[in-house]
Structure 1
Amino acid sequence: MAILVDQRTRVLVQGATGRAGTFYTDQAVRYGSTYVAGVRPGRGGTKHLGIPVFHSVKEAVEETGATASLVVVPAPNAADAMIEAIEAGLETIVCVTERVPMHDMARVKRALEGTQSVLIGPNSQGILTPGQCKIGVMPTKDAKPGRIGIASRSASLTSEILANCSAADLGQSTTVGIGGDTIHGIGFVGCLERFKDDPETEAVVLIGEIGGREEEKAAEYLSSVTYGKPVIGLVAGRHAPQGRRMGHAGTLSVFGLETAEQKVAKLREAGVLVAKDASDVVSTVLKALK
């Protein structure tokens, strides 16, 4: 099985006719995902890559039955695009755009309140259920269907660990890139809840980083429930200097708070098996499953 997306997911692309939208739509369609519409104001009534283009998300949903969206829209307009998708009632919204202003994301978070929409991102590599559906920019070459759920803050580490898992015959149920920005949609807890309820996910890998509170929230959640499945964690940034941003906006460690060591300690207290580094993740998963 899978979480959030599967073979039934019908995807529309906001910004489909741009260079990035064209490239990633073509990749996903070639992979076998079901992409049913593009959205570009002023281009409605045309086709792009053989897919109909509509003026608005609402029109595209009404005409095609789309259930998910890929937002490939420049940062100044990305929040409006996400809110349009939320208002159209889409189940899953994936935003890969980087550098969306924080005050814009505050508007998006308010728009999500009281809805059934799940936002992944922004600044996310997307979501991949191997052999069924890809939304975003996540590579598919090394992905393999299986029973390991992955939730990650780091795109590069996701690719490395996913490839290592597949090489060890540890296929994935779903891989979710929660996004590297400080204000984002679904986090580790939302992923953990869904993987817990997925009967065919046997273990979960969390790929964390310094900065933010995703790892702390995951530890608090795991301490409050009987999870019933092994959770394997990795926290990158052990050697990063405090008070400096490493990579993207969400990795800022300030004034000694939320360092890698503190995150590791809290995860271990919650029962998470923490790997030493990326190369140690597969062996830790195998030990946990035994």
Structure 2
Amino acid sequence: MSILINESTRLVVQGITGRDGYFHAMKMKAYGTNVVAGTSPGKGGTDVDNIPVFNTMYEAVDQTGANTSAIFVPPAFAADAIMEAADAGIGLIICITEGIPTLDAIKAYSFVQQKGAVLIGPNSPGLISPGRSMVGIMPSRIFTKGSVGVISRSGTLTYEVVSHLTAKGLGQSTAIGIGGDKIVGLRYRELLEMFEKDRETQSIVLIGEIGGCAEERAAEFIRWQITKPVVVFIAGQFAPPDKQMGHAGAIISSGMGTAAEKIAAFEAAGVMVAREPCMIPKLIVETQLKRIRV
């Protein structure tokens, strides 16, 4: 099993005729993802490498049965693209676009919730269930099928951590980048619950960073609701206060959101925290051994 995407995923790429949309559509198709359609207003009726292109999401869903979308359109139009996908009946929307205005993101997120769809991102690298499907911009060669679920706010840290896991023979069930913006769709809590219910996932890696309180809320949720071993890494341990570091959400202000506070919250919940990414595989094995002994 895996969460969110698998062999039954039918993907439409919004913005498929743009530079980034085309490049990553080809990467996803080459990986084995079932890319059934693309959209690009004004270019309906054409195709990209035998992938049919439609003017609207409504046409794409109606004619191909698409159930998932990946968004590669410019920031000014991305919120509309999210809402159009949800309105057309897409159940899972992955927004790769970054730099979407905050008020636009709030409007789109609210609309997606009203439609009962699921949003990952904005500013997300996407997700991958190794050997089954990949949606986004993940470097698929570093992933391998296994039982470790990965949730991260950082794309590049996801890749670093996964490369360490794979090198130590610890494959992944699904790896997800939730996005680094202040407003995003799925967060740690919802994904932790999905991994808890997934029979294939035996342990979970959570990669957080400074800013906000999402990690502290995740720690509390893990304390009471998660039975599987969890290992955490928090980036930004030496970041200065009141200065944005990378992602829009990675800013410490008013004495909240520091790495130290997040680490303390996880440790108080009994979660093992890695001080460096390279330590994660060792801690995963230790948590699994402890579970066996118990």
Distance (Å, rounded) in 1 between the aligned partners of 2:270 and 2:15: 42
AA in 2 matched with 1:277: E
- 3-state SS of the aligned residue for 2:244? coil
Per the TM alignment, residue 224 of structure 1 is displaced from its structure 2 partner at its CA by 3.1
Per the TM alignment, residue 276 of structure 1 is displaced from its structure 2 partner at its CA by 1.1
Distance (Å, rounded) in 2 between the aligned partners of 1:105 and 1:186: 13
Q: Which residue of 2 aligns with 1:3?
A: 3
Distance (Å, rounded) in 2 between the aligned partners of 1:161 and 1:126: 16
Matched, 1:257 2:245: no
Per the TM alignment, residue 35 of structure 1 is displaced from its structure 2 partner at its CA by 0.1
Q: Which residue of 2 aligns with 1:198?
A: 198
Per the TM alignment, residue 128 of structure 1 is displaced from its structure 2 partner at its CA by 0.5
Any residues of structure 2 matched to 1:76-225 within 5 Å, and which?
76-225=76-225
Per-residue CA shift, 1:22-47, capped at 9, x if unaligned? 00000111111110000111111111
Distance (Å, rounded) in 2 between the aligned partners of 1:118 and 1:269: 31
User: 278-287 or 107-116, which moves further after superposition?
Assistant: 107-116
Distance (Å, rounded) in 1 between the aligned partners of 2:70 and 2:266: 32
Q: Which residue of 2 aligns with 1:53?
A: 53
Distance (Å, rounded) in 1 between the aligned partners of 2:115 and 2:213: 24
Matched, 1:243 2:245: no
Q: Which residue of 2 aligns with 1:282?
A: 281
- 3-state SS of the aligned residue for 1:199? coil
Per the TM alignment, residue 142 of structure 1 is displaced from its structure 2 partner at its CA by 0.9
CA contact (8 A) 1:152 1:178 kept: yes
Q: Which runs of 5+ in 1 are unaligned?
A: none
TM-score (norm 2): 0.96
- 3-state SS of the aligned residue for 2:143? coil
Distance (Å, rounded) in 2 between the aligned partners of 1:185 and 1:81: 15
- 3-state SS of the aligned residue for 1:233? strand
User: 105-114 or 203-212, which moves further after superposition?
Assistant: 105-114
AA in 2 matched with 1:80: D
CA contact (8 A) 1:89 1:116 kept: no
CA contact (8 A) 2:109 2:119 kept: no
Distance (Å, rounded) in 1 between the aligned partners of 2:121 and 2:182: 10
CA contact (8 A) 1:219 1:266 kept: yes
Distance (Å, rounded) in 2 between the aligned partners of 1:258 and 1:239: 13
Distance (Å, rounded) in 1 between the aligned partners of 2:109 and 2:20: 25
Q: RMSD between aligned alpha carbons?
A: 0.9
- 3-state SS of the aligned residue for 1:135? strand
Per the TM alignment, residue 220 of structure 1 is displaced from its structure 2 partner at its CA by 2.2
Per the TM alignment, residue 239 of structure 1 is displaced from its structure 2 partner at its CA by 0.2
Per the TM alignment, residue 289 of structure 1 is displaced from its structure 2 partner at its CA by 1.0
The number of residues matched between the two structures is 289
CA contact (8 A) 2:130 2:174 kept: yes
CA contact (8 A) 2:212 2:256 kept: no
AA in 2 matched with 1:281: I
CA contact (8 A) 2:233 2:273 kept: yes
Per-residue CA shift, 1:24-76, capped at 9, x if unaligned? 00011111111000011111111112100111111101100101000000000
Q: Which runs of 5+ in 2 are unaligned?
A: 290-294
Distance (Å, rounded) in 2 between the aligned partners of 1:92 and 1:131: 19
AA in 1 matched with 2:118: V
